[in-house]
Amino acid sequence: MYRTVTHGVQVTVEPRFVAEESHPDDGRWFWAYQIEIRNLGGEDVRLRTRHWRITDATGRTQEVRGAGVVGEQPLLKPGQAFTYTSGCPLPTPSGIMVGSYRMEGESGAEFDVAIPAFSLDSPDEARTLN
């Protein structure tokens, strides 16, 4: 589990390798990740956009930007959380994801909330710690 708090918004990520969606012989590995976004602050906040930087084991990076998450732009009142699950295919057996959400407070002011970097590792691959 990976967790960070930015501007009173806590983001928790739990990635998992999905063997049944992975086809290593075809150069495709797949992970699902569940994210909980919790408002620890004192005012309503709405998630407006997302930005991901996904890096595979060869160092190739792709950027993903878009409105909301899983087709929603959730409004979180103080103490509320929103949880969703999404996925990421890679052409390598490991990688890393990191990103941010653009949030909007009650006053209309926008701010970025960090999504913690998290590792995507196939259970069949040897891991090297640096």
Intra-chain end-to-end CA distance of the chain, in Å: 20
Q: Write out the chain's pLDDT in tens, 130 residues.
A: 999 999 999 999 999 999 999 999 999 999 999 999 999 999 999 999 999 999 999 999 999 999 999 999 999 999 999 999 999 999 999 999 999 999 999 999 999 999 999 999 988 765 555 4
Cβ(120)–Cβ(90) below 8 Å? yes
Per-residue confidence (pLDDT) for residue 125, from 0 to 100: 66
Asked if 22 contacts 50 with a C-beta cutoff of 8 angstroms, the reply is no
Beta pairing partners, 90: 29
pLDDT at 124: 72
Q: The domain at 2-119 falls in which architecture?
A: Sandwich (2.60)
Domain boundaries, the chain: 2-119
Nearest to 65 by CA among 102, 94, 28: 102
CA 67 to chain centre: 14
